[in-house]
Structure 1
Amino acid sequence: GASELEALVTGALAREVFDPGTGGRGGIAARQVPTALITTGGTESNQVALLLAREARGAGVRLVHGANAHHSLPRAAWLLGLAEPVVVPAPAGALDPAALDEALTALPGPHLVAATAGTTDAGMIDPLPEIAAVCEAHGARLHVDAAYGAGLLFSDRYRDLLAGLDAADSVTLDLHKLGWQPVAAGLLAVRDAADLAVLHHRADYLNAGDDTEAGLPDLLGRSLHTSRRPDALKIAVTLKTLGRSGLGRLVEQVCDGAREFAALVHEHPGFELHDRPTLSTVLFRPAHAADDDVAAVRRTLLTDGRAVLGRARADGRLWLKVTLLNPRTRPDDLAALLTLVEGNTPR
């Protein structure tokens, strides 16, 4: 039952990513069937994406990613024995398509380009349509790490921020972020299910040929694991209970909350806002504070049990990071947080 349920959930989410029937690179070709496999999270999804690229393009495939990419991508290249990745500048936090084009022109192929939809530090989204066009021009395979940003797919209001996502060959999703699932809740969606053929594995006591031919589920080639939890169940329950519109409302609430918090910071003379938020992450810092003071404020609030703030380095400075994931956060909560930070900043 869990195996059948997993097939339904992964198929539905893959179609949500790739929007079948639109034609061209931005859609699904007639011979392609999108699908997804369950993983432990974004890190494993990125690892499998690189594995599939290596098997599709050969061991000489070169990973090219932005300076804003998640650390798991170059680490996966190392684990798989690939060449040292090429890092492309990401001015203002997003990968630069012109710099990507220059890098691919200078670098012998084959290439695997990894873009990001929802960076770890600031929740920014790379310019996916432009990146996809560069990849198309160079014949490069495209992977998008949307572990954070994929939740926007459920929102009619914010979905357009992911324009170009459907041009990818593979996409990382992690519903323990903007899907409100306990870990593990990762997925790797692929444009063409045929890409997963390289993962096929036979162990007679698990997936004997005659059992598979008789119609029994065979998931041994859809995971790097053998025994694993039925993580598709909790995802299915959430999708069945809330549906796309229900999840979309939750996504919109936290993204709207981030914009409200950013406005509070912008209007407060004692704080500096890094930039308008793209997702539900806001970077800010006390005005005129030293980096050591910013770090100390975060640790104080954490050890006192009053607030859990992240940290990020951007523009050569240290920033406090608020990532809103609780849809029930209210304006009073946001104002109280700002007061807490202000009261604990050294004068």
Structure 2
Amino acid sequence: MSTPAPGPLFRPAGTHDGLESVRTLVNSAIDILQEVSAQRSGPVPPGGPEGARNAAAQVLTGPLLPEDGTDAEQVLLDLVRPYAQWSADITHPAALARMQPPPLDVTAATELAAAVLNQSLHAWESGPFALELDRWVVARLAELAGYDPEEAGGTLTPGGSVSNLMAMTMARDTVLAEKTGAYPFQGGLRALDKTPVVLCPEGVHFSIERAVRLLGIGEDNIVTVPLDKSGRMIPEEADRLLTELPEDKVAVALVAVAGSTDLGIVDPLPQLAEIARRHGVWLHADAAYGAGALFSPKLRGLLEGVELADSITVDLHKFGWSPASSAVLLVRRAEALVSFGLQPTTCLSADDDTCAGYIGLQGSSLQTTRRADALKIAVTMRTLGATTMAAMVDACHGLARYAADRIAREPRLELFTEPPLTAVLFRYLPQDGSDPDAFNGRLRRRLMEEGRTLLARTHIAGDDGVSRVYLKLMLLNPETTPAQLDAVLDDLLAAAAEQDGAGQG
């Protein structure tokens, strides 16, 4: 039986002819990106959500899958150009909203190579070298965090939320198996005579709450540990809550923050580790953002004790200059990954293949097919080196301190606190009697809608316990200059004064 040929539009990228076509198309794409870059006047075009929707409506017409295909260069023009025009320019000094550092040129080229080769990590035959590279990167990052690489393990993940979900899964399974003699993934939670609970500080990342919900533990079984005046978890309170836990409850995890996304707060990890060990509880350190401090001898002390945690979440696409996704979950004891390896399939892990060394990584991840993200991480870190990485982290920290000092000198601006890492929280204090929360929310939206500045916002409780809206500068571009920061703040103050004078809250 004959089958129709796919035709000239099907050009596999990895063939000789395909690679030549890739070269041509990449040059076309770069031409588009350079043209768009030259036309930019701010971190995003003016117009806000309506402008983005209108731009999309003009381009995204017709079917996604037309009857007949289109020339590849024309498709690039049709889709890549508006995509670039309406992308946030994360290299712009006024792009200060999110944890999206500018990736390296060599890393962008690496992403292209990874896409052309399209390796996966679930089976040996899907990515022989990619598997070895993945294991090596995990081992070296475990070493960087202070783990024994011979005993530690881990996996790359799509992001911190998945890392936290996996950490809570291992905590549930490991602790309950130790305390009850049975893994909950066998009989389920309903077979237990006790209710699992998770302890975490107030304001922990929402992904922990979501993980607890997905795992069947339930949000009602999160026990909140009080904080001290600096916002850090109080170890004595964690110890008390664990000691006074009712007989029908069993604690499976104590979650510590190791660099909160708003304030960069790090909980007292050494004390919490000792308490967790004494009570037989899994200690998880969420260092998705804070792990960047590990690259700086100056700031590494902030994460003292992180190596004592049973698991650590690390996002190198936040504070490591690697493009998303470049996330890692590290585990102090590799055997805890058994939570994800209980159902091998014959086609992926036959016994004789396993004995011969044909071993994939499907048993250490929530994912089966998985991109070889270790390649871009390795390229980024090898290219920069430890000295440059440290200098980049310190430069961003210095910019945050500079911004905080400038904000503290402005009579109409209120700095929340000195930044331990690279996030700066502040707000404008209106004179027109407007509600400050509504005023700052409107100010942020106006600056973004006009394409002038991209800012984040958050709610933070002060010493009086009242939660208020604060604006946030996230400084992750070490090439930003103090003068550029001054210009951003000058522009913000001018816009706020105009809004204040107009009485628009």
Distance in 1 (CA, whole Å) between partners of 2:147 and 2:368 is: 30
Match of 1:299 among 429, 445, 448: 445
Counterpart of 2:151 in 1: which secondary structure? coil
Distance in 2 (CA, whole Å) between partners of 1:169 and 1:103 is: 20
Aligned to 1:50: 168
Give deviations 1:178-204, integer Å, cap 9, x for gaps. Answer: 111211111110001111123224222
**1:18, distance to aligned residue in structure 2 (A):** 2.6
Mapped contact 1:89–1:95 kept (Cα < 8 A): yes
Verify: 1:9 aligned to 2:137, yes or no.
Answer: yes
- RMSD, aligned α-carbons: 1.6
Give deviations 1:96-130, integer Å, cap 9, x for gaps. Answer: 22322222122143331000112122222112222
**1:232, distance to aligned residue in structure 2 (A):** 0.8
Mapped contact 1:104–1:111 kept (Cα < 8 A): no
Which sits farther off after the overlay, 56-65 or 322-331? 56-65
Number of aligned positions between the proteins: 337
Aligned to 2:200: 65
Counterpart of 2:347 in 1: which secondary structure? helix
Verify: 1:195 aligned to 2:331, yes or no.
Answer: no
Aligned to 2:91: none
Q: Which runs of 5+ in 1 are unaligned?
A: 21-27
Distance in 1 (CA, whole Å) between partners of 2:278 and 2:485 is: 45
Give deviations 1:151-171, integer Å, cap 9, x for gaps. Answer: 111111110100010110001
Verify: 1:104 aligned to 2:242, yes or no.
Answer: yes
Aligned to 2:349: 207
Alignment of 1:268-283 (within 5 A): 268-283=410-425
Q: TM-score, normalised by structure 2?
A: 0.64
**1:206, distance to aligned residue in structure 2 (A):** 2.0
Mapped contact 2:199–2:251 kept (Cα < 8 A): no
Verify: 1:131 aligned to 2:272, yes or no.
Answer: yes
Distance in 1 (CA, whole Å) between partners of 2:158 and 2:264 is: 21
Residue 287 of structure 2 aligns with an amino acid whose one-letter code is A
Q: Which runs of 5+ in 2 are unaligned?
A: 1-128, 177-188, 190-194, 501-505
Distance in 1 (CA, whole Å) between partners of 2:231 and 2:171 is: 25
**1:299, distance to aligned residue in structure 2 (A):** 0.4
Aligned to 2:487: 336
Aligned to 1:86: 223
Deviating above 6 A after TM superposition, structure 1's stretches of 4 or more consecutive aligned residues are none
Aligned to 1:25: none
Change (3 A) 1:19 1:195: closer
Residue 332 of structure 1 aligns with an amino acid whose one-letter code is A
Counterpart of 1:90 in 2: which secondary structure? coil
Distance in 2 (CA, whole Å) between partners of 1:208 and 1:38 is: 24
Distance in 1 (CA, whole Å) between partners of 2:209 and 2:288 is: 16
Verify: 1:232 aligned to 2:369, yes or no.
Answer: no
Counterpart of 1:204 in 2: which secondary structure? coil
Mapped contact 1:34–1:193 kept (Cα < 8 A): yes
Distance in 1 (CA, whole Å) between partners of 2:401 and 2:278 is: 36
Residue 5 of structure 1 aligns with an amino acid whose one-letter code is L
Mapped contact 1:112–1:142 kept (Cα < 8 A): yes
Distance in 2 (CA, whole Å) between partners of 1:125 and 1:203 is: 41
Residue 87 of structure 1 aligns with an amino acid whose one-letter code is T
Aligned to 2:459: 313
Distance in 1 (CA, whole Å) between partners of 2:226 and 2:401 is: 27
Aligned to 2:315: 174
Distance in 2 (CA, whole Å) between partners of 1:166 and 1:258 is: 27
Distance in 1 (CA, whole Å) between partners of 2:310 and 2:383 is: 30
Distance in 2 (CA, whole Å) between partners of 1:251 and 1:222 is: 31
Alignment of 1:149-160 (within 5 A): 149-160=290-301
Counterpart of 2:317 in 1: which secondary structure? coil
Counterpart of 1:317 in 2: which secondary structure? strand
**1:288, distance to aligned residue in structure 2 (A):** 4.5
Aligned to 1:24: none
Structure exhibiting the larger radius of gyration computed from Cα positions: 2
Distance in 1 (CA, whole Å) between partners of 2:272 and 2:445 is: 38
Distance in 2 (CA, whole Å) between partners of 1:303 and 1:99 is: 45
Residue 296 of structure 1 aligns with an amino acid whose one-letter code is R
**1:304, distance to aligned residue in structure 2 (A):** 1.1
Give deviations 1:209-236, integer Å, cap 9, x for gaps. Answer: 2222112232111211111211111001
Aligned to 2:429: 287
Mapped contact 2:175–2:280 kept (Cα < 8 A): no
**1:313, distance to aligned residue in structure 2 (A):** 1.3
Aligned to 2:146: 18
Structure with the greater relative contact order (CA < 8 A, sep ≥ 6): 1 or 2? 2
Give deviations 1:293-327, integer Å, cap 9, x for gaps. Answer: 11111101111111111111112221111110111
